[in-house]
Chain A
């Protein structure tokens, strides 16, 4: 909501001052207030109209699909503002947009749901994630979600561990065993072009027939033309943030090698799972880690999108890691 969160400013300050007087400053993690503004712009991708978030709000420009990544440290306060100036939108009753911080357990006023009072003409959404909430989330529009999510209004939101100086740690969570050398966000999504031109309450939205399958907003249905690439070094550790904003079933793998899931839905697993594949359904997030082989080679992380009824394959989209 549009207000200044005084407690988030005053309380840490008082605490730090008190501890400073007591001479114990070394273990106080520095927290920050992160003010970020995004707006909405149109963009044509794959000959299909999309709406995407962007931080470039000064002109008409183009939206990004997925939108800008937002990174927040444990204890930081995020003020994520949606600027509605020049935003493409539907006519009433589904005019306007919101931001829902998907997976964040926030108050109703910060949840971005029009049906529970969320403002659709622009707002600021505040969240102060606590320790134990490290991991991958998303933010997306929650107005007429069946269309607006499909239109590309989604992006990665990450909660990161920090050291005592307030710097991000290159770890998935506070456990040093989750340290990584490289990290990438695999935003998983699907596209039914008919959903992009339909508006309002249309029977088009009763039948989802995706024909375009994406990782990080890009097609990559062959290993020779992957959606996302990473140039790495043998024996190094890679973390992937797998974020399901698709609307079908799916299975992720590295094409054979095993990997370890440390965090699911923004909560650390008490027992990390080492597996060779995981099913990723709409809305779920996984933070995974693996070590590259010691000899040079190529690895193809891949997401196979599947039908909701019988898990029959639609398509497989590939990433590529060379090392």
Chain B
């Protein structure tokens, strides 16, 4: 039972905030994890979950993992043309930290937990979103090709141990 609440400029302009950096298109990512055998399956059959133990075996972006997330065009994927920019708003209602690594290009870190960062922004290729953390990123589409964006944490690249899965999507630049 979670979701994202985001605020944009009142005039509806494609800016991170009123007077903020402009973008070509926006993506909204909600990261989450699931301990299916110990939490969901137990709760789903009326049992009592022992919340002290949490060993998630599924990791998702917008409830999609692996190839499903990589195929979610226009929703999860960063698909556009060279010289465009993508504003990526990320929230993490999950219980694990998501250390997200972008191939192809660095991005500007615009906000952390709702706090605007000072300009010039840090240019990074990894951002960590802790549980209940948020970040806004401005990604520059600067070279054509296909690239992954994935969490850089071992088990979180799988779905119950099956690779390539977990919190991942694609960057497709034309």
- Interfacial residues, chain A to chain B (CB-CB below 8 A): 94, 102-103, 105, 107-109, 111, 113, 115-117, 144-147, 149-150, 192, 195, 201-208, 244, 247-249, 264-267, 269-271, 279, 281-284, 308-309
Inter-chain contacts of A202 with B (CB < 8 A): 161
Query: Across the interface, do B154 and A150 meet the contact criterion of CB distance under 8 Å?
Result: yes
A109 to B96, CA, bound (A): 33
B81 within 8 A of partner (CB) = no
Among B11-19, B20-28, B82-90, B99-107, the stretch in contact with A = B99-107
Q: List 24 A-B contacts (CB under 8 A).
A: A94-B163, A105-B105, A108-B145, A109-B145, A113-B148, A116-B146, A117-B146, A145-B154, A145-B163, A146-B157, A150-B154, A195-B154, A206-B55, A206-B160, A208-B155, A264-B122, A265-B123, A265-B124, A281-B97, A282-B152, A283-B126, A309-B95, A309-B96, A309-B131
Query: Across the interface, do A105 and B106 meet the contact criterion of CB distance under 8 Å?
Result: yes
Inter-chain contacts of A208 with B (CB < 8 A): 153-155
Query: Across the interface, do B103 and A146 meet the contact criterion of CB distance under 8 Å?
Result: no
A267 to B95, CA, bound (A): 30
A282 to B128, CA, bound (A): 8
B31 within 8 A of partner (CB) = no
Query: Across the interface, do A116 and B148 meet the contact criterion of CB distance under 8 Å?
Result: yes
Question: DSSP majority for the A interface?
Answer: loop
Query: Across the interface, do B125 and A207 meet the contact criterion of CB distance under 8 Å?
Result: no
A195 to B97, CA, bound (A): 21
Closest to B168 in A: A115
Inter-chain contacts of B4 with A (CB < 8 A): none
Question: DSSP majority for the B interface?
Answer: loop
Contact partner of A144 (CB less than 8 A), chosen from B125, B143, B155, B163, is B163
Inter-chain contacts of B122 with A (CB < 8 A): 264, 267, 269-270
Given contacts A247-B154, A248-B153, A283-B152, contact A113 B160 (CB under 8 A): no
Annotate B138-162 by CB proximity to A: 1 below 8 A, 0 otherwise: 0000110111100111110110111
Inter-chain contacts of A109 with B (CB < 8 A): 145
Query: Across the interface, do B162 and A113 meet the contact criterion of CB distance under 8 Å?
Result: no
Query: Across the interface, do A205 and B163 meet the contact criterion of CB distance under 8 Å?
Result: yes
- Interfacial residues, chain B to chain A (CB-CB below 8 A): 54-55, 57, 95-97, 99, 101, 103-106, 118, 120, 122-126, 128, 131, 142-143, 145-148, 151-155, 157-158, 160-164
Given contacts A249-B97, A266-B125, A281-B99, contact A107 B143 (CB under 8 A): yes
Query: Across the interface, do B162 and A284 meet the contact criterion of CB distance under 8 Å?
Result: no
Inter-chain contacts of B55 with A (CB < 8 A): 206-207
Inter-chain contacts of A201 with B (CB < 8 A): 158, 161-163
A146 to B66, CA, bound (A): 13
Contact partner of A108 (CB less than 8 A), chosen from B124, B128, B142, B146, is B146
A7 to B78, CA, bound (A): 30
A22 to B162, CA, bound (A): 61
User: From residue B71, how far is it (CB to closest CB) to chain A in Å?
Assistant: 12
Inter-chain contacts of B158 with A (CB < 8 A): 146, 201, 205-206
Contact partner of B147 (CB less than 8 A), chosen from A103, A108, A150, A267, is A108
Query: Across the interface, do B154 and A204 meet the contact criterion of CB distance under 8 Å?
Result: no
Closest to B143 in A: A107
Query: Across the interface, do A282 and B153 meet the contact criterion of CB distance under 8 Å?
Result: yes
Q: Which 10 A-B pairs have the closest CB atoms?
A: A283-B152, A108-B145, A281-B128, A247-B154, A281-B99, A282-B152, A206-B161, A205-B161, A206-B57, A267-B123
